Structure 1
Amino acid sequence: MPQAGETIKRGGQLFRADDRPVVLFYGSMPMYREIAGPNLVGRDVRIVADNLRTLGYAIGPQPSPGEWVTPPAAEATDGDAEAADPKPQRVRSGEGVLTASLITAIKRWQTDLGVPATGTIPVGHVEIASGAVRVDSITGAPGGSANEPLLTVTAVRKVITVGAELADAATIKRGDRVTVELPDERTVPARVVTVGRDLVATENGVTSSPQMLTVTVAVDKPKAIANLDSGEVQVQFTGRTATDVLVAPVEALVALREGGYAVQTANGLVAVSTGMFADGWVEITGEGLTEGVALVVPA
């Protein structure tokens, strides 16, 4: 088993099961099936190919999207003779093919791992993450059941999450520059990585009040927070101002079925474009809208 705090990168061993290593690969989907059989096609095969190539193994050329290959025959069962006669399959964008060269690369990789060079990868022999991981805690014990949780991992890059009310979140964009004040009162520059789309919920699953979205922030120099695993920080967003603009209460906005917003006037709905949001108000522009026009605001 690894040690808590250890960083595991692509190709590294997460743990051993049945005395064989379980290895970390990078990707966006789990390995849900055995990688076996010439010309097996899929995104999971692409993950294997990309990782082995990055680790320095020669995988040979891959068929291009649009090419046709004949996948491995399924095992026939009684009364199912057609199962052993597979039809050609078209390779789609993002998919890989288990070519003879890739099978050879798998065998070389397995030899380097010290396991039987079968050229196949059973389910459970590889785990997928989006990048390097840090072992947060060990929950299993040597000799224990592999069906129980063995360890917990977190992303290597530390990020800061901030709850922002809807009106404030609407003014925040990915890439915006912010300043983070750390518990020791140091300030470090950072940037917005993502602005969430799902409303923040409390521990019992109820939407928070006021309604909020999660904003994720990453500092420019990770070493500045290397010794911080958790804690409260202050995130300062750069304010913006606008002058000589029309504003309306945020509650006056009406979401349109076709997208966008409108406001309700005495003459009906008027489509509007929104600008800045601040303190419950929103900047709007729309045909026929002028200062003093009465709007309908839900009670």
Structure 2
Amino acid sequence: MAEPAVPRGWRGLGRCVPAVVLVTVVAVGAVGTAAVARHSSGAPDPHATAAPSVRTAKVTRRDLINSQTVQGQLGFGPVKELKGAGTGTLTKLPSNGTTTGRGKALYRVDDKPVPVFYGDTPFFRDLKKVGVVGNDVTVLRNNLAALGYDVGYEGTAQRSPNQTRAPGSTFTASLVSALKKWQQDMALQPTGELKVGDVLVLPGPVRVSSVKARVGDPVAEDILGYVAPKKVITVPVDAQQVSAIKPGDPVTVMLPGRDVPGTVSAIGDTEQNDSSQPDAGDGSTPKTDVTVLPKRASDVANLDDADVQVEFVSEIHKNVLTVPIGALLALSGGGFAVQRPGGELVRVQTGMFATGLVEISGKGLTAGLDVVVAT
């Protein structure tokens, strides 16, 4: 049975094993013990040679793990810029470290609060005519419903035969009523209309990292920078290896002095070039940012920006027999074997390679068996 290939792109990283070149065995001599001749006087023969020594290892049963360990950066993730919309003058700004909340004001324009909604479509137009359809209407409906308002039946536009998906929700009379009640609760004029700039749409909770604008500036300018609300670890992974990583995968975060659990929360869509690691092609290695979230925020509460290492596990074979890779012998007729100290060859089938070990199986193999290891 042919040796399985070591996973591409994982060689030499973390606990992975580089490809191994094995020498074909033509003949194997048994390890013997040289006889010691003695003179009649009983003195040892000065020409006698000592028995040759061999290095052995035991077959062990264990979990075999294929992984890579990559350096990442602990912090609040990449900074994103926020630009205001609509018209008016900024009259109050948040402070650094402010965390947003759904339906709560982030800043004020013309002394009126500008609340935050969560979604993927900004309010790019005024919503005031019943029957208007769009994904911005869906954002309004979802947020008012999440805040506890009765938005009524969720109307959607009729699709034509050529449409592949609905374009969004419908601005219904029930939604107008819910909007009026929310505006009243926010001490805003209950018009039942939503103008561009009245509400800010963000992808989710964020933390203000910097304030660029000043009170008195027009709102339609760069206002602030924001980051993730919790500390995350940004790990640049080789683009060829990132396919083995999925959101939700458990990882091990190696902090100074201890290891803590974490989870892959996101994988970047774009590749960045790392000029510090030359490649044979364009002189740089493409990287994809993988975002890791510590399982317990308290584990990193006392750490500011710091370099940490993250171990990603790609494959686990549990409770398998293993030997050091140096114990493998390639047979002249094909296949592999291990050698007992007495010279006996035991044919084996190989499995996963990792951590300097190889998974083996075969007749007569048991944990604790001694095998010869190449020196």
Tell me by how many angstroms 1:229 deviates: 4.7
1:105 and 2:178 aligned? yes
Return the letter of the residue paired with 1:186: R
Post-superposition CA distance 1:178-233 (Å, at most 9, x none):
111224x3321012223334321369xxx872222222211111232234452211
Tell me by how many angstroms 1:52 deviates: 0.6
What is the percent sequence identity of the aligned residues?
Answer: 38
Post-superposition CA distance 1:270-289 (Å, at most 9, x none):
xxxxxx999xxxxxxxxxxx
Counterpart-to-counterpart distance in 2, 1:167 and 1:49: 41
Does structure 2 retain, via aligned residues, the 8 Å contact 1:136–1:151? yes
1:192 and 2:264 aligned? yes
With CA pairs under 8 Å and 6+ residues apart, which has the higher RCO, 1 or 2? 2
Q: TM-score, normalised by structure 1?
A: 0.65
Does structure 2 retain, via aligned residues, the 8 Å contact 1:170–1:277? no
Query: 2:309 maps to what in 1?
Result: 234
Query: Which structure 2 residues correspond to residues 212-223 of structure 1 after superposition, within 5 A?
Result: 212-223=287-298
1:11 and 2:97 aligned? no
Structure 1: which 5+ runs fail to align?
69-89, 244-275, 279-299
- Computed over aligned residues only, the root mean square deviation of the Cα atoms, in angstroms, reads 3.1
| SS class of match (2:209) | strand
Counterpart-to-counterpart distance in 2, 1:277 and 1:36: 64
Counterpart-to-counterpart distance in 1, 2:248 and 2:119: 24
Question: What is the aligned counterpart of 1:48 among 132, 140, 144?
Answer: 140
Counterpart-to-counterpart distance in 1, 2:353 and 2:221: 48
Distance 1:16 1:228, change over 3 A: farther
1:151 and 2:224 aligned? yes
Counterpart-to-counterpart distance in 2, 1:44 and 1:162: 33
Tell me by how many angstroms 1:240 deviates: 3.9
- Structure showing greater radius of gyration is 2
Does structure 1 retain, via aligned residues, the 8 Å contact 2:274–2:285? no
Tell me by how many angstroms 1:129 deviates: 1.2
Higher helix share: 1
Question: What is the aligned counterpart of 1:132 among 189, 205, 211?
Answer: 205
Counterpart-to-counterpart distance in 1, 2:188 and 2:304: 36
Query: 1:258 maps to what in 2?
Result: none
Query: 1:269 maps to what in 2?
Result: none
Post-superposition CA distance 1:10-38 (Å, at most 9, x none):
00101001111111001011111111111
Return the letter of the residue paired with 2:225: T
Q: TM-score, normalised by structure 2?
A: 0.53
